[in-house]
Structure 1
Amino acid sequence: MDIAFPFRIDARGRTADRDHPDHVRDMIEQLLFTTPGERVNRPDFGCGLLDLVFEPDSVELAAALQVSAEGALHRWLGDVIAVDSLQVTAQESTLRIELRYLLLATGQVRTDVIEGSVAR
């Protein structure tokens, strides 16, 4: 078991935990939603998703987000997951990120979808 994110205390009064696949999903979300420069001791951690969310949606935005997210996932989580595919689409005011990856510790293949609204 791994520590749950966000950190909290469970009903037993202990540190809440998550199973490994859910913990990895939490790490992916942390990485995608952390702005570089936000972490004091790791100023290059993150991918800048939040900076791009407020840009007008376009094909260029989706491409920039895809390159940024792929690079960050390989750099920061490359020892935990192997990215099989990453698709970023921008439709109207929604960014949709579909990530298919292999959990290296278990060999399990997962697909996660993360969506967020984009300013027009």
Structure 2
Amino acid sequence: MRNYMDYPFQVNARGRTGITSRNDHVRDMIEQVLFTSPGERVNRPDFGCGLLQMVFGLPNGALIATVQYSVHGALQRWLGDIIEVQDVVVRQHESQLSVQVVYVRLDTGEILTDTFETG
């Protein structure tokens, strides 16, 4: 079994780098794409999808569609060799967004669903 570095970075009780499973590692990568704003990374200024800025949009169908489109596109661009996005479901409640991503891990064919929430 292969180990993957956990995100966010942490040190375990033995003083070593925290590790995680493959499924959790993939989820961590999705989280990084969603919550990284374009321009935030020095050597990859276009990395991310800017989800946190979208929280401040007006609560309407256009915002939901924009978030779905942005999330789907960013995940396909940055993780397209690891996952295939099947569906993105976005819900807004006041100033909080909930993004559910349904995807297939390309290495195993396993279908997974993860939910991410802003603030």
TM-score when scaled to structure 2? Answer: 0.91
Percentage of pairs with the same residue: 52
Bigger RCO (CA 8 Å, 6+ sep): 1
Given candidates 82, 92, 96, the residue that maps to 1:90 is 92
| Aligned-residue offset at 1:64 | 0.7
C-alpha deviation, 1:116, in angstroms: 2.8
**How far apart are 1:94 and its partner, in Å?**
3.5
Give the TM-score normalised by structure 1: 0.90
Per-residue deviation, 1:70: 0.6
Q: Which amino acid aligns with 1:55?
A: G
Question: Structure 2: which amino acid aligns with 1:71?
Answer: G
Paired residue for 1:76?
78
Measure how far apart 1:56 and its partner are: 2.5
Name stretches of at least 5 consecutive residues in structure 1 with no aligned partner. none
Superposed CA deviations along residues 81-106 of structure 1, whole A, max 9, x for unmatched, are: 01111111234444221111111122
C-alpha displacement at 1:73, in angstroms?
0.4
**8 Å contact from structure 1 (residues 100, 110) kept in 2:** yes
| Residues 62 and 95 in structure 1, CA contact (< 8 A), matched pair in contact too | no
Q: Out of 86, 103, 117, which is 1:101 matched to? A: 103
The runs of at least 4 consecutive aligned structure 1 residues that moved more than 3 Å come to 91-94
Consecutive unaligned residues in structure 2, runs of 5 or more: none
- Is this contact kept in 2: 1:59–1:90, CA < 8 A? no
1:59 aligns with one of 61, 64, 67: 61
Q: Quick one: distance in 2 between partners of 1:51 and 1:92?
A: 14
Q: Work out whether residues 37 and 47 of structure 2, in 8 Å CA contact, stay in contact via their aligned partners in 1.
A: yes
- Judging changes above 3 Å, is the alpha-carbon distance between structure 1 residues 50 and 13 closer, same or farther for their aligned structure 2 residues? same
Per the alignment, residue 4 of structure 2 pairs with 2
The CA distance in 1 between the partners of 2:21 and 2:110, in whole Å, is 13
- The aligned amino acid for 2:82 is V
- Does structure 1 conserve the Cα–Cα contact (< 8 Å) formed by 2:37 and 2:51? yes
What is the RMSD of the two structures over their aligned residues, measured on CA atoms?
1.3
